[in-house]
Amino acid sequence: TLRRAHVALAAVQLGVTRGALAHATSYLSERRQFGRPLGTFQAVAHQLADCHIDIEAAGVTLWQAATRLDDADGADADPADHDPADLDRTALVAKWWATDAGQRVVHRVQHVHGGIGVDLDYPVHRHYLWGKEIAGTLGGPGADLDRLGAVLAATEVTAS
């Protein structure tokens, strides 16, 4: 159940971050400064590129974990091929990426929106709150890394 909760939280966080980035790209393509869209400024473009990379990495780890869990539950699944520690590892990696990257993305998106990003009625603020809430559910990135380290250490001891 905990594995599935980690993967589910990663999936929700991926949706939140994609939605936040969509708001940012729309806003920055319309908002103009010095006669140019804000999105054409190099510093802003680099921040959005970093967001895109974080989201893609979170998506890759999410789909890897979801596929591994699905394969382990399949009718033709061979229990020898699905080590519980490996399933825990992939689920924790997905949650850690989503948690860590998700916080960076929602923070950057709120930042590039300027003062309007902190307006409680503006959708970006809701993405920010969701991203922070999801990141803290079942522990933040530090707790995820502690659990992942314990799984890896136990696997190493067993392999020795």
Residues 29-69 pLDDT 10s? 887 788 887 777 888 899 999 999 999 999 999 999 999 99
Cβ proximity of 17 and 58 under 8 Å: yes
Classify residue 86 as exposed, middle or buried by CB count within 10 Å of its CB (0-12, 13-18, 19+): middle
Return the SS3 of 113. coil
Confidence band of 158 (pLDDT split at 50, 70, 90): low
Question: Could you report the per-residue pLDDT of 17-40, keeping only the tens digit for each?
Answer: 999 999 999 988 887 788 887 777
User: To the nearest whole percent, how much of the chain has pLDDT over 90?
Assistant: 55
Which residue has 């400024």 as its token pair? 41
Query: For the stretch 133-147, what's the b/e string if a residue is b when 16 or more beta carbons lie within 10 angstroms of its beta carbon?
Result: ebbeeebebeebbeb
User: Which 8-state DSSP code applies to residue 76?
Assistant: T
| pLDDT, greater one: 49 or 85 | 49
Domain boundaries, the chain: 2-159
Q: In this structure, what token pair is assigned to residue 147? A: 């659990």
Got the DSSP string for 122-151? SHHHHHHHHHHHHHHTT--HHHHHHHHHHH
Question: Could you report the per-residue pLDDT of 106-139, keeping only the tens digit for each?
Answer: 999 999 888 777 788 888 999 999 999 999 998 8
The fold for domain 2-159 equals Butyryl-CoA Dehydrogenase, subunit A; domain 3 (1.20.140)
